[in-house]
Amino acid sequence: MGQFKFLDTKINGMFIVEPAIFEDNRGYFMETYNYNDFKEAGHDLTFVQDNQSKSSKGVLRGLHFQINYPQGKLVRVIKGEVFDVGVDLRKDSPTYGQWVGVILSEENKKQLFIPEGFAHGFLVLSDVAEFVYKCTEFYHGEDEGGIIWNDPEIDIKWPLEKVDEIILSDKDKLWKSLEETNIRY
C-alpha cells in the first residue's frame, strides 16, 4: 500500500486514516487522499465536494446528517484541534446509535472517514480550528437533519472539561433526540 495507514474503529465502515508525513528542514509534505491507495485498502470512495469551516473554541457543530442524500465524509483539521464524532444511523447495523470520537488536529494530521448513514459533529478544543472535509454526495440544504448533541441515549463523552462553554447555532439548539428523530438509513 501507499502513503496511508488505515485503522478500523469499533463501528464497521468508519475508520481513521494516518497519512505518511515527509518532513525536513523546509517543512513537511503529505498526501491527504489518493484514490488508488484507498481502493487498494478496500475503500473505493468517490468524492464530489470539498468543504472548509473555521470555528472558535467551544463551537459544537452537529450532529448533522442528510435524510435522502446521505454523505460519507473524510474529515481533517488543518489548524487547531477538534473532537470529531460519527454516530451510526444505519437501520440494520448492530452498532445503530453508537458513536466513535477522535481528536483531530494540525499536529496529529489524522483523518476520520464517516460513512453514509451516519450523523456527524465536532467540538472545537483549540482557540480556533479550521476543518476540511471531502463528501461523497453533494450538500442539499433542504435535506438536512440533525440530532441534539447531548442526547442521553447516544451519550457521547464530549471532552467538555477542555472548553469554558458550548456554542451552538440556533439550528443546532433545536434538534431532537435520536428516539424522537427516528432516523434509520
Phi-psi domain of 13 (left: phi exceeds 0; alpha: psi -120 through 50; beta: other): left
What CA–CA distance (Å, rounded) separates 75 from 134? 7
Give, in degrees to the nearest 5, the angle at Cα 121 between 120 and 127. 150
Contacts of 23 (CB under 8 A, 6+ apart): none
The kind and range of the H/E element at 64 are strand 60-66
Active site residues: 64, 133
d(CA 105, CA 170): 26
Q: How far apart are CA 49 and CA 139, in angstroms?
A: 8
Geometric angle at alpha carbon 50, from 65 and 45, rounded to 5°: 75
User: How far apart (Å, rounded) are the C-alpha atoms in residues 85 and 97?
Assistant: 12
